[in-house]
Amino acid sequence: MMDMFRKVFCFLGILGFVHVSWGQTQVDIPLFMDDDSSTPPQVIQAKPVKAPQSEPVAKADHPNLGVKAEPMKKVTLLPPPAPRIDISLEPNPPEVSVEQPKQPINKRLESIDIQLLSGGDTSYNQALPARTLTDVRGFELNGFYLGMTLDDILQVAKENGYKVTSSKKDISKFRTGYYESLCRSQKIYFPAEIRKCIRQLSQQNDTTYVSKLKLVRPSSREIIEFDLSSPATNNRVWKIYYQNKGDNSLSFTRANVQKKLDRKEAFFNAIYNKFGYPENGEKLIWGSEGDAYMQVGMYGSNYDAFIILTDVELSDEDYFEAKDWLDDNKPFEHFGFED
């Protein structure tokens, strides 16, 4: 009986061992493999990742500038080396002697007018002598000058081939107000009749004068305009405006541009040779703007030239002479209210 139990117990122990071993074998087999399959298992491996390669650096000494040149990716700018500075740590450092140049640097340029470059201001150097202002009343332009009378202008214009293209007659504004008061005192109130009355009174008193005159010489493309004072100062020229027109048919080719530049150079050379250098080099002004002066210049792409002569003193004198006459001849205060 006991032997029977031993045999049964041993048999059950063998069955348990076999069962446990078979279960472990099933766990070790991959799930994607079949028992009858003869295909070996496929193992998935990760692809290796290549490390980024550094871009080739162009040679600084011999850059590639040919057809196969590649654009530069990076430019490194290095600051210049700082200058060396030696600082003495001694309490009383020795004085540094600076070697003076053997020849003076500043040299006087005899061919350049210093006052022309400085615009007439010599306050920066008291050693320079004061320059006497030019009297432009003695300047002459093709026979014309300041202070001429109307008869003188017409005579010179005839001799030099100028033609009168326009003129303007005027009455001094102070006499105009005086004549208007006389006309209103005669019961004249309509504007057209008042203007006619003023002209008649001006002609009777010989106070009508030519205030503007324009001359033209087509052969040289010149235009000259004159402003004249009133008879209170003998109807004389106090302003001359001269124009010389450039050739507007020239295009902007290299040869034509050179012609225009030659015209500019010739104009200023002629001015400097005739009148000398100006007192004000910045504005190109001769004389004094408060008394009498001349100004020149060029403008436009054709380099049109102009010259202005002005006698400010004569213009002011004409104004005050006319005003003094009005103070001695008060206009009538007549409003037309009375019977």
Query: Global pTM?
Result: 0.57
Q: What is the mean pLDDT of residues 158-167?
A: 94
Q: What one-character-per-residue DSSP string does 207-251 give?
A: --EEEEEEEEEGGGTEEEEEEE--GGGTSBEEEEEEEE---TT--
pLDDT above 60: residue 67: no
Q: Return d(Cα 236, Cα 226) in angstroms, integer.
A: 10
Q: Which residue has the higher pLDDT, 252 or 262?
A: 262
189-211: per-residue pLDDT in tens?
A: 888 998 899 888 888 887 889 99
User: Which pair of structure tokens corresponds to residue 206?
Assistant: 């010989």
Coil, strand or helix: which one is 297?
Answer: strand
Q: Which residue has the higher pLDDT, 80 or 175?
A: 175
Q: Which residue has the higher pLDDT, 175 or 38?
A: 175
Query: What share of residues in the chain are helix, strand, coil (percent, to 5)?
Result: 35, 15, 50
Give the number of other CB atoms < 10 A from CB of residue 312.
Answer: 16
Q: Return d(Cα 281, Cα 36) in angstroms, integer.
A: 114
Q: According to the model, what pLDDT value does residue 27 have? A: 45
Amino acid at position 209, single letter? Y
User: Which pair of structure tokens corresponds to residue 105?
Assistant: 């640097």
Q: According to the model, what pLDDT value does residue 330 have? A: 66
Give the number of other CB atoms < 10 A from CB of residue 113.
Answer: 16
**Residue 201 near residue 183 (C-beta atoms within 8 A):** yes
Q: According to the model, what pLDDT value does residue 80 have? A: 61
Q: Give the Cα-Cα-Cα angle 247, 250, 255 (nearest 5 degrees).
A: 120
Cβ-based neighbours of 135, under 8 Å, separated by 6 or more: 287, 292
Q: Return d(Cα 145, Cα 123) in angstroms, integer.
A: 33
Mean pLDDT of the chain: 74
Q: Return d(Cα 134, Cα 274) in angstroms, integer.
A: 13
Q: According to the model, what pLDDT value does residue 115 have? A: 39
Q: Return d(Cα 214, Cα 241) in angstroms, integer.
A: 9
Q: Which residue has the higher pLDDT, 60 or 217?
A: 217
Cβ-based neighbours of 220, under 8 Å, separated by 6 or more: 244
Q: According to the model, what pLDDT value does residue 227 have? A: 96
Q: Which residues pair with 334 in a beta bridge?
A: none
Q: What is the mean pLDDT of residues 308-323?
A: 90
188 falls in which pLDDT band (50, 70, 90)?
Answer: confident
Distances, alpha carbon 205 to alpha carbons 53, 141, 179, 199, 200, in Å? 107, 34, 10, 10, 9
Q: What is the dihedral of CA 141, 146, 150, 154, to 10 degrees?
A: -10
User: Which pair of structure tokens corresponds to residue 94?
Assistant: 């020795």
**Residue 251 near residue 231 (C-beta atoms within 8 A):** no
Q: Return d(Cα 123, Cα 125) in angstroms, integer.
A: 5
